[in-house]
Structure 1
Amino acid sequence: MIVLHHLNKSRSKRIIWLLEELGVEYRIEPYQRDAQSNLAPPELKAIHSLGKSPVIEHNGRVIAESGAITEYLCQQYRPDMIPESGSDDYIDYLQWMHFAESSAILPLLLKMFVEKDGAKMNMLDQYAQVEVAKVMTYFNQRVTAGYLVGGQLTGADIMMSFIVDALHRGGALAMFPNLKAYHDFLAGLEKFQKAEALEAELDKSI
């Protein structure tokens, strides 16, 4: 049994989707963000010292980090979701897997923090806007309305789904038509829809 420690409105949404695609037995332990700080509750630190989500428990192991969880579970249960090692598709897969939590997420987080802070800043606001435009324009140029790699579902789609979802929630998808098409494609997948419904059901802040 896989246990997913899931924080509402977090990266662990994509792990729910992955678990649905894997078709494995799993259980979700839900946690809610603090209404004032928007931070994870201290209870998560009892699972992993960083107190962040997603975290899974499997076969006596505690595994953190979305990318590591995605690669681990795909290797265990759906190796077909990882392209053949050494192939061009595998190189693309690796780049998207790492792009999600490096080049893509950083400017989005900076922009979100600037907006939440609300204070006048000397350079960070402009920097965040320029970086979001640059990185998402690159992503928009590389993607179409379909799976990212090799015409089939891979871990790269699991990881990058959070990025287009963040753009969607921020109302920015209209500026990137290819990303909107990709988002709409994912939103039409049965298991993706199941994950959306499960997360909404678990989110007590709605």
Structure 2
Amino acid sequence: MITVHHLAHSRSQRVLWLLEELGLDYEVKRYERDPETSYAPPELRAVHPLGKSPVITDGDQVIAESGAIIEYLVEVYGAGRLRPAPGSADARRYTYWLHFAEGSAMPYQLMHLVFQKVRNAPVPFFIKPVARGLADHVLKTFVQPNIEDQLRFMESELTTRPWFAGDAFTAADIQMSFPVESAARGAGLGASHPRLTDFLSRVHSRPAWQRARARGGPYSFAD
């Protein structure tokens, strides 16, 4: 039996969604974030040394990292579903977007979150202008421009096809949902990103996504 070690408000929501799309039986072991730090609890280190989510166990297999988990589940249980035919142009796009989500998109999204926290952190009044000024400078000159470049690129890629890998919905769209949701919640998706906004609407209307949301519990990235 597959067990998802699921942390609220996290990337592991994608794993639940993939399992629902594949129609697989699985168990959910829930972990709550520390109310002060928002970090994962130390109990996760008993599953994987880094103590991060997502992690799944399947028999004696322990698999961490969103992309690795998705590749494992699609390869072992997909029976050809949710990925393009090997060697096709769609397959090359599928591999690209499967890795782009965490390798390129999420680092800037995370930096946006970190510097927003720095900007609003409770510090002595005489330090606050310095911290806020530094955070604003990094956000304005480095983080936000890179996010905007990526969002334009992602938007342009959806002008010629409905899904990131091609005409068919694939696991790459599951992987890409989190950075798009993160952008919508953090940096924002405006009128210049209608296709990304539509992508999220179509994602959230999928029955498997809704089942995963109900089973996974709180997920602020879709609120």
Q: Could you tell me which amino acid in structure 2 is paired with residue 166 of structure 1?
A: S
Distance 2:107 2:9 in 1: 17
Between stretches 147-156 and 42-51, larger displacement belongs to 147-156
Going from structure 1 to structure 2, the CA distance change for 1:6 and 1:100 (only over 3 Å counts) comes to: same
Residue number in structure 2 paired with 1:106: 107
Residue number in structure 1 paired with 2:95: 94
Q: Could you tell me which amino acid in structure 2 is paired with residue 139 of structure 1?
A: M
Contact (CA 8 Å) 2:97, 2:165: kept in 1 or not? no
Quote the offset at 1:166 in angstroms. 1.2
Quote the offset at 1:124 in angstroms. 2.4
Contact (CA 8 Å) 2:82, 2:170: kept in 1 or not? yes
* 2:217 is equivalent to residue 200 of structure 1: yes
Contact (CA 8 Å) 1:146, 1:185: kept in 2 or not? no
Which of 161, 165, 171 is matched with 2:177 structurally? 161
Q: Could you tell me which amino acid in structure 1 is paired with residue 67 of structure 2?
A: G
Q: CA RMSD in A?
A: 1.9
Structure 1 residue runs of 4 or more that deviate by more than 3 Å after TM superposition:
none
Residue number in structure 2 paired with 1:125: 139
Which of 201, 208, 215 is matched with 1:184 structurally? 201
Distance 1:188 1:171 in 2: 23
Distance 1:124 1:7 in 2: 30
* 2:4 is equivalent to residue 12 of structure 1: no
Residues 52-73 of structure 1: CA deviation (Å, up to 9, x unaligned): 0000001211000000000110
Distance 1:188 1:29 in 2: 25
Distance 2:187 2:207 in 1: 24
Larger gyration radius, structure 1 or structure 2 = 2
Contact (CA 8 Å) 2:11, 2:53: kept in 1 or not? yes
Contact (CA 8 Å) 2:8, 2:219: kept in 1 or not? yes
Residues 102-137 of structure 1: CA deviation (Å, up to 9, x unaligned): 111111111010001112317522211111111111
Q: Could you tell me which amino acid in structure 2 is paired with residue 183 of structure 1?
A: L
Quote the offset at 1:179 in angstroms. 0.5
Residue number in structure 2 paired with 1:149: 165
Between stretches 112-121 and 144-153, larger displacement belongs to 144-153
Contact (CA 8 Å) 1:30, 1:202: kept in 2 or not? no
Residue number in structure 2 paired with 1:138: 153
TM-score w.r.t. length of structure 2:
0.86
Quote the offset at 1:3 in angstroms. 0.2
Aligned length: 204
Unaligned ranges ≥5, structure 1: none
Identical amino acids, percent of aligned pairs: 39
Unaligned ranges ≥5, structure 2: 120-130
Please state whether the residue corresponding to 2:110 is helix, strand or coil.
Answer: helix
* 2:54 is equivalent to residue 59 of structure 1: no
Residues 4-41 of structure 1: CA deviation (Å, up to 9, x unaligned): 00111111010010010111110000111111111111
Distance 2:103 2:165 in 1: 19
Distance 1:2 1:202 in 2: 21
Between stretches 172-181 and 36-45, larger displacement belongs to 172-181
Please state whether the residue corresponding to 2:56 is helix, strand or coil.
Answer: strand
